Amino acid sequence: MTTEPRLRIAMQKSGRLSDDTQALLKKCGLKLNVSDRRLLAHVTNLPIDIMRVRSSDIPGLVMDGVCDLGIVGDNTLEETALERELMGQKHQYIRTSGLNFGGCRLSIAMPEGFNYQGIQSLDGLRFATTYPQLLNRFAKANGINIDFCLLKGSVEVAPRVGLADGICDLVSTGATLEANGLVEVEEIFKSKASLIQTATSLSPEKQNILDTLLPRIQGVMKAKESKYIMLHAPKDKIAEVSALMPGKETPTILPLAGRDDLVAVHVVATETFFWETMEKLNSLGCNSILVMPIEKMMG
């Protein structure tokens, strides 16, 4: 009996990326039950399996070809690639697509009151970090010598307990740094989640599955960034109204039943639609201005 090849995707089991990853796969139409404790979840309507693991294990699983695809933060990806390169291990992968979630930055932060005069002020200091390779690359590129201690969690407490002079950690809002009396002094790496693929070519069957999945992923991301705008506009103001519409799409102009003076204007906007724009439209005599989310897009 031959078994149908199944595309295997690694995702974070639980943590900051898992909800967004799960939501993305669901919006792509994948039917799966990840509520159980199993490592491997079967997608029931496509030949895809989802492997749920620690975020830090995802790059290696893809680089070694155990999983065909993975969804992981660029920070984890780059750190693993540098570490593996140093150890002479396989570190190749293909970055198939950037994703629009998991945004953060890897930054150096020092205790409040530290006299920061530029990167040279960090020379000879010791940093607590989960990302020694990225930190080391930054130090080398800037001609400074630093020492580090590896911590997998609670990095921000290290200076307070005398373990390090500063930290190099992920930041999104900066609230954790502030709560721990730390000040961000250098951003060393910008990160988002990415869809990565094994560097060895996929079998034609698996490539076919990926060719179905990828446009769906891109469609979901495009939809997330877009809005559908509908409004009623005075017929003699169409040019001014169109000029105010965000994005490059040409608006659709539709007649309104029983009204000679008004038309309906519809447009898909890929840029932010500000309150100020709505107010300007309103002052041009537009009404019933609706801004709606888009669920899926293709073509």
User: Does 100 sit near ligand ATP (CB under 6 A)?
Assistant: no
Q: Report the candidate in 277, 189, 186, 197 with the shortest Cα–Cα distance to residue 231.
A: 277
> Which one of 12-20, 87-95, 252-260, 290-298 is the stretch in contact with ligand ATP (CB under 6 A)?
12-20
**Half-sphere CA count of 188, side-chain side, radius 13 A:** 27
Number of residues that bind ligand ATP (CB under 6 A): 16
> Which one of 38-46, 169-177, 246-254, 287-295 is the stretch in contact with ligand ATP (CB under 6 A)?
169-177
User: Does 12 sit near ligand ATP (CB under 6 A)?
Assistant: yes
* Residue 286 contacts residue 231 (beta carbons within 8 Å): yes
User: Does 21 sit near ligand ATP (CB under 6 A)?
Assistant: no
Looking at the Cβ atoms of 120 and 172, the one nearer to ligand ATP is 172
- Return the residue nearest ligand ATP (CB atom): 73
Looking at the Cβ atoms of 171 and 209, the one nearer to ligand ATP is 171
Choice from 59, 60, 70, 73 touching ligand ATP (CB under 6 A): 73
Q: Report the candidate in 102, 106, 93 with the shortest Cα–Cα distance to residue 193.
A: 102
- List, in order, residues 6 or more apart from 69 with CB less than 8 Å away: 7, 8, 9, 10, 62, 96, 195, 196, 197, 198, 210
Looking at the Cβ atoms of 172 and 282, the one nearer to ligand ATP is 172
Looking at the Cβ atoms of 180 and 277, the one nearer to ligand ATP is 180
User: Does 10 sit near ligand ATP (CB under 6 A)?
Assistant: no
Parallel/antiparallel/unpaired status of strands 69-73 and 7-12: parallel
User: Does 251 sit near ligand ATP (CB under 6 A)?
Assistant: no
Across the strands, what pairs with 97? Answer: 195
Looking at the Cβ atoms of 56 and 136, the one nearer to ligand ATP is 56
Q: Report the candidate in 234, 291, 230, 293 with the shortest Cα–Cα distance to residue 265.
A: 230
Q: Is the dihedral of CA 163, 167, 172, 177 positive or negative?
A: positive
User: Does 61 sit near ligand ATP (CB under 6 A)?
Assistant: no
The whole-angstrom separation of Cα 192 and Cα 196 is 12
User: Does 180 sit near ligand ATP (CB under 6 A)?
Assistant: no
- List, in order, residues 6 or more apart from 73 with CB less than 8 Å away: 17, 55, 102, 104, 191, 192, 193, 194
Choice from 29, 47, 56, 65 touching ligand ATP (CB under 6 A): 56
User: Does 106 sit near ligand ATP (CB under 6 A)?
Assistant: no
The whole-angstrom separation of Cα 238 and Cα 244 is 10
Rule CB under 6 A: which residues touch ligand ATP?
A: 12, 15-17, 54-56, 73, 75-76, 102, 104, 170-172, 191
